[in-house]
């Protein structure tokens, strides 16, 4: 194509992308030389190829649930360490304390922490080594089992273990295959990218996610509230959030089947609960009747459309039937925490 044929901003078949009002834009293209346009096309193709690689990578990603963590800890790691001569279990704060406490309970061993001087100390309660069931426990001279949930590169483990002044073994539930650090024991390999339910909303991946609203940030609106406008408004204004799902960083955006006419209430609620986002996309009020005739399909298609056209890597959806449709129509990675899918 020797010259630009676009009359206005919009999708360009030559560059295979939207040409907006921000340069390099369609107006720039109209005055650009053939050489400049070819160079820009090559850069666009490289950018699109990178996006496709990211998309394919995330489609191969794995979502690990809390229940799967417990199962893998019990079935895969525990048998490897059960017969070691251990004095206790030492978890790496914070996520490592989850599997560490489970292993300590299953093996009836004290759970340890490191004090400021690097000395291991048992967590005490009713007695020195724990609760009532540990009152008769006598300290031993075995090794400590150091536990983390995952080892990605081994940085956290390598920074932690030099502080330990006694014998120890290192372990984790999930090990990234490419990690240069190899613990003494691990449950199984976990390829990258992966998402973990127990820190899904405070990991950096959330910056690349679109999220549903009702059912994710707060409970779904009860049916009896939906059929009465006053009750509905009162509910969405005052409902308490799911505090464990307030993202610690800004998410890419929120896409909800809530009607646009409730934007002010919704934005105020998000601000009140310190939920940060780049964009809030709400269902057109004038299409309410269409939405309500087939809510699952219409809501899911609405979300899939915006997900498909976005650069977000994954979508977090509250309802499994909608999640299935969004996945099918977008061809991208969708997580449904309520159903652990």
Residue whose structure tokens are 């983390």 = 148
Region of residue 108 (left: phi > 0; alpha: psi -120 to 50; beta: else): left
What is the sign of the dihedral through the CA atoms of 84, 88, 90 and 91? positive
pLDDT of residue 222: 92
* Domain termination residue (choose one: 194, 210, 225): 194
User: Does 223 share its domain with 154?
Assistant: no
User: Does 219 share its domain with 142?
Assistant: no
User: Does 158 share its domain with 243?
Assistant: no
Domain count, the chain: 2
pLDDT of residue 126: 44
User: Does 244 share its domain with 334?
Assistant: yes
User: Does 68 share its domain with 189?
Assistant: yes
pLDDT of residue 218: 96
Q: Within 10 Å of residue 254's Cβ, how many Cβ atoms?
A: 23
* Length of the chain measured in residues: 341
pLDDT of residue 285: 94
User: Does 205 share its domain with 119?
Assistant: no
pLDDT of residue 24: 65
User: Does 135 share its domain with 237?
Assistant: no
pLDDT of residue 279: 95
User: Does 187 share its domain with 206?
Assistant: no
pLDDT of residue 41: 74
User: Does 144 share its domain with 218?
Assistant: no
The whole-angstrom separation of Cα 82 and Cα 283 is 54
Residue whose structure tokens are 């390598």 = 158
pLDDT of residue 341: 47
β partners of residue 127: 130
Going by C-alpha positions, the residue among 102, 110, 106 that lies closest to residue 69 is: 102
Residue whose structure tokens are 């704060």 = 93
Which residues of the chain fall below pLDDT 50? Answer: 57-59, 125-126, 135, 341
User: Does 181 share its domain with 221?
Assistant: no
Which two tokens mark 305?
A: 């459309």
Domain that holds residue 299: 199-339
Tell me the CATH number at 265.
Answer: 3.40.50.1000
Tell me the CATH number at 84.
Answer: 3.40.50.2020
Going by C-alpha positions, the residue among 329, 285, 278 that lies closest to residue 303 is: 329
Q: Within 10 Å of residue 12's Cβ, how many Cβ atoms?
A: 19
Domain membership flag for residue 118: yes
């Amino acid at each position: 194509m020797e010259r630009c044929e676009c009359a206005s901003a919009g999708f360009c078949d030559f560059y295979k992308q939207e040409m907006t009002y921000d340069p390099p834009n369609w107006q720039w293209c109209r005055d650009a030389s053939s050489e400049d346009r070819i160079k820009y096309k090559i850069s666009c193709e490289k950018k699109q190829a990178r996006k496709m690689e990211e998309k394919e990578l995330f489609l191969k990603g794995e979502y690990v649930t809390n229940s799967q963590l417990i199962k893998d800890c019990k079935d895969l790691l525990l048998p490897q360490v059960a017969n070691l001569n251990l004095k206790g279990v030492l978890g790496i704060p914070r996520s490592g304390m989850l599997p560490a406490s489970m292993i300590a309970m299953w093996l009836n061993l004290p759970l340890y922490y490191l004090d400021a001087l690097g000395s291991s100390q048992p967590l005490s309660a009713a007695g020195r080594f724990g609760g009532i069931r540990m009152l008769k426990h006598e300290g031993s001279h075995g090794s400590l089992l150091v536990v983390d949930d995952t080892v990605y590169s081994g940085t956290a483990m390598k920074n932690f273990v030099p502080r330990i002044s006694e014998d120890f073994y290192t372990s984790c539930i999930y090990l990234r295959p490419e990690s240069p650090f190899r613990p003494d024991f691990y449950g199984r390999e976990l390829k990258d990218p992966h998402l973990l339910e127990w820190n899904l909303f405070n990991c950096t991946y959330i910056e690349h996610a679109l999220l549903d609203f009702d059912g994710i940030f707060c409970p779904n609106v009860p049916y009896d509230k939906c059929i009465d406008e006053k009750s509905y408004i009162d509910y969405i204004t005052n409902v308490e959030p799911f505090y464990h799902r307030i993202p610690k960083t800004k998410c890419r955006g929120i896409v909800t089947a809530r009607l646009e006419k409730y934007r002010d209430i919704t934005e105020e609620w998000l601000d009140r609960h310190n939920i940060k986002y780049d964009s809030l996309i709400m269902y057109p009020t004038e299409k309410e009747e269409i939405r309500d005739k087939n809510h699952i399909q219409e809501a899911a298609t609405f979300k899939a459309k915006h997900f498909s056209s976005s650069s977000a890597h994954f979508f977090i959806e509250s309802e499994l039937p909608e999640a299935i449709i969004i996945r099918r129509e977008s061809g991208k990675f969708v997580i449904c925490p309520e159903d652990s899918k």
